[in-house]
A and B are shown apart, each in its own frame.
Chain A
């Protein structure tokens, strides 16, 4: 089944403790992206990647890192999480560009206390 897989689905952590949210797609898509969803703000892009080793900042990149060493994986790294990063995170992939529409993962609900 074609899908984007994120892990974990739920995570509670403490301020400052480094964490990684994994994302993997099995559709051989070039484009991958991370979004965060907050009430009243919709979804905002954190980082995106156009291909292996090619990444760039989205609208809200502060406090996040990403890497794209393989085409299928696009992990999101929070080096020192803070409470304002409590949010619902989505990974997404697209065949070529976002114009084709993204396929989204199931989401990761992160709480930083």
Chain B
């Protein structure tokens, strides 16, 4: 079985603050993929990043960065200099290659509601 935990239900920051969203995952598989999705108030799900279990390099994309630490089973997401437009629900998700059927499933965390106040 696999599980994703996002312990922070809600986070509120003031614009220009840095904020980190935590994600901890559980899986018995050695090959797996981790994802972050953004859900703005309009409701759609927007893909942000995909990372496989063999690539522990951190990634930066503009104001976004991701820290993957296999030793602690964490895949945290940091927004630098947050903006009001970053306000959204953010989901961390996990998929593994263990079996044909497992590969079809993305297991999501509960989501973190981020509010960036002006």
Contact = CB atoms under 8 A, between A and B. Distances in A.
Contacts, number: 68
B104 A104 contact: no
A97 B97 contact: yes
Interface residues of A, number: 28
B43 A99 contact: no
A33 B44 contact: no
Interface size class of B (residues with CB under 8 A): 20 to 34
Interface in A49-102: 50, 56, 58, 88, 90, 92, 94, 97-102
B7 to A, nearest CB: 13
Nearest to B6: A42
Contact of B103 (A35, A40, A97): A97
B30 interface: no
A104 B91 CA distance: 13
Interface of A: 31, 33, 35, 40-45, 48, 50, 56, 58, 88, 90, 92, 94, 97-104, 106-107, 109
Given A33-B104, A99-B32, 17 more contacts: A33-B105, A41-B110, A42-B91, A42-B108, A43-B91, A43-B108, A44-B108, A45-B106, A56-B104, A92-B45, A97-B103, A97-B104, A98-B105, A99-B96, A100-B50, A101-B47, A104-B37
